[in-house]
Every structure is written in structure tokens, then in C-alpha cells.
Structure 1
Amino acid sequence: MGQGGHERTAPPAEGAANEAWDVLMLRALAVIVAEEHLRSRFLALTGYTPHDLVARAGRPDLRHAVADFLAGHEPDLRFVAARLGLEPRRLCAPC
């Protein structure tokens, strides 16, 4: 299980698809951080601090936490997907 007691969502297969997923999770994180209601919920559920978000932005554990956060609450998934101009399924792993 990942931080916050959520089961970890696996990224898609290796290679280019994995890199694309990593970029999407970082873009999703940017939306989460920019929106107070999402940011406070994400921090509360994951146990990360604002400092952790900066220090760990490129680390797999944070990207997995973003995926788990989105998978755990469909309204948040839809909100983030809409902000990114994507179909919600694009933010789900595996795709």
C-alpha cells in the first residue's frame, strides 16, 4: 500500500508509455497543487507536506500517490482531467 493507506496504482508498461504516464501524473500534480480544495485533500490523504511535493516531484512514489488519489475519488479525477483537457481514463493506470 502507498502512503495514506491507499493501494498503489501501477503505471502502464515500460518505455514511452511509462514516460507519458509520468508526465501526465506531474501535470495532474500541478493541477492538484493549484486548487486549494484538491491540495488540502491530497496532503491530508497522503501524509505529504508542501515541502515533500517540491522535494519529491520527480520521484515515483509521488507520481503513484497522484494516481492513487485520482483513482480514489471520481469527482477529483474528472476535475483534474477537465483542467488538463483530457478524458478521465487517460489519467487512470493502467491505461
Structure 2
Amino acid sequence: MLECEDRAARYLELTGLDPDSLRTGLGDPMILASALEFLANHEPDLIRAAEALAVTPEELVAAKDALQS
């Protein structure tokens, strides 16, 4: 997700995170859910991420839902 500078900047701006807090929060389910929510809200990003991870977009959305419950 963050290999694209524009996408990374948009994610950080929307979440209020900075790169350091994102890095340290990668084990936090809420941070992970926010990243998946970000991807789910923009289908082209969701599809690119799913392809890069060799999963389906539906699997990413299901992971987001599981983290948020």
C-alpha cells in the first residue's frame, strides 16, 4: 500500500498517523483495520493490494471486518 507515495500520503492524512506511529502500530488491530478500511474505500487500491498479496479483494475486506469486530 505504501509503495505509492500519493497513496501513502493520503492514508497518513486521513488517519492522522505519521510514519513512526504507523510503524510502531503495525501490531495493533485498529491500525491494521484502518489500513484495510482505507483500501476497501477505493476499489483500485483494494484490487492492487490484493494482487500484490496474492489474495482476493474479498479476503482483504473479510480481514478488515474480522479486525473491527
TM-score tier by shorter-chain length is 0.7 to 0.9
Q: Is 1:67 matched with 2:36?
A: yes
Residue of structure 2 equivalent to 1:16: none
How far off is 1:71 after superposition? 1.6
Q: Please, what is the CA RMSD of the aligned residues? A: 1.6
Q: Which consecutive unaligned segments of at least 5 residues does structure 2 have? A: none
Larger helix proportion of the pair: 2
Identity score, percent:
36
Q: Which consecutive unaligned segments of at least 5 residues does structure 1 have? A: 1-31
Counterpart CA distance in 2 for 1:70 and 1:57 is 16
How far off is 1:74 after superposition? 0.7
Q: Is 1:78 matched with 2:55?
A: no
How far off is 1:82 after superposition? 1.1
Counterpart CA distance in 2 for 1:90 and 1:37 is 24
Q: Among residues 12, 26, 29, which one is paired with 1:43 in the alignment?
A: 12
Higher RCO (C-alpha 8 Å, min separation 6): 1
Residue of structure 1 equivalent to 2:58: 89
Q: Which amino acid aligns with 1:63?
A: L
* TM-score relative to the length of structure 1: 0.59
Q: How many residues align?
A: 64
Q: Which stretches of structure 1, 4 residues or more, deviate above 2 A after TM superposition?
A: none
